[in-house]
Amino acid sequence: MATAQLPESPLPPLAELHDAARVVSIPTRTRFRGISTREAVIFVGPLGAAEFSPFVEYADDESSRWLAAALEYGWAEPAPPLRSAIDVNATVPAVPAKQVPAVLARFPGCRTAKVKVAERGQELADDIARVRAVREAMGADAFVRVDANGGWSVDAAAEALTTLAPFGLDYAEQPCATVAELAELRSRLTRAGVPVRIAADESVRKAEDPLAVARSGAADLIVVKAQPLGGIAPALAIIEEAQLPVIVSSALDTSVGISMGLHLAAALPAGMLAGACGLGTVALLAGDVAQDPMIPVKGVLSVRRPTLDEGALERFRATPDRERWWLERIERCYAALAARA
């Protein structure tokens, strides 16, 4: 795993981070990525709110990159935006097909949908039904993507994407787990004349070498997330080196983390954005920490920092034992960053 890149400015004192930290636990509307509650630390930084929310199973070395991103966003000015609004996609969890219209209704105006597939315990038939329901609900002119989170083998991915291709897929995100598998799958689909592009997500943000995807020709585009890559500046550096089209996405963040992603998308050079970004996922949470949650309007989010809602921070405040768990995690990740400084 690549090590965290440090903020250019000195690390703020650990005591300052403790004082600035608010730990929240927000239910999800639908079970998503195996969780039904999203925990996060919201820092009240000198330049605005920042989020630290690596998933609980992530090790400290990986999580320290997320802390570096929070410190960059809350304690340093982000790159200047080149655009004021970002198109976003709807995100459809691995729900039964009959629930698809209700999910899409939470993303008003979105003309792109990303559909979760390859869910553990489900079959290809479930994926087909879900994608069909999305296409029928959104119409022929909408963009439909699928995201397997690395859940397919090459053979299973080839079969699934050949079957799903007639629905007019924009691309398939991380259909297989490894860069080598992505490269093999991409080659196989090309030879078979299956018109589905391959996007790499985990092979960028969780890789020892996030540029291996680009060098090996394993993907047509990359999906980047600001938090896992250590912040906006490190993400922009990877994008500049990769020279592949980009979609900016989130990790089921609150509006605070979404605003970081929006600032990353807004700073991309002209021509780099490959379409609507995966930054509408606040709609999948049953609450938020902002007075003005980052919910798309006509499929668009404005590039801004949200204003924190003190009542919501208290309402979704984590239990004391979870607060301690997160504060101890911050200490360990901070120590990892300090050791590299």
Active-site amino acid positions:
116, 225
| Cβ proximity of 326 and 139 under 8 Å | no
Query: Annotated binding residue at 173?
Result: yes
The tokens for 287 are 């609450």
| CB under 8 A, 24+ apart: contacts of 155-162 | 156/118, 156/124, 157/181, 157/185, 158/185, 158/188, 158/189, 158/192, 158/194, 159/124, 160/117, 160/118, 160/124, 160/127, 161/185, 161/189, 161/194, 161/196, 162/189, 162/192, 162/194
Give residue for tokens 């009542």.
311
Instruction: Compute how many other C-beta atoms are within 10 angstroms of the C-beta atom of residue 162.
Output: 15
Distance, in Å, from the CA atom of 324 to the CA atom of 23, rounded to the nearest integer, reads 9
Query: Annotated binding residue at 170?
Result: no
Distance, in Å, from the CA atom of 248 to the CA atom of 109, rounded to the nearest integer, reads 19
| Cβ proximity of 71 and 260 under 8 Å | no
| Cβ proximity of 182 and 203 under 8 Å | yes
Distance, in Å, from the CA atom of 324 to the CA atom of 337, rounded to the nearest integer, reads 20
Residue type, 131: V
Residue list for the binding site: 147, 173, 201
Residue list for the binding site for Mg(2+): 147, 173, 201
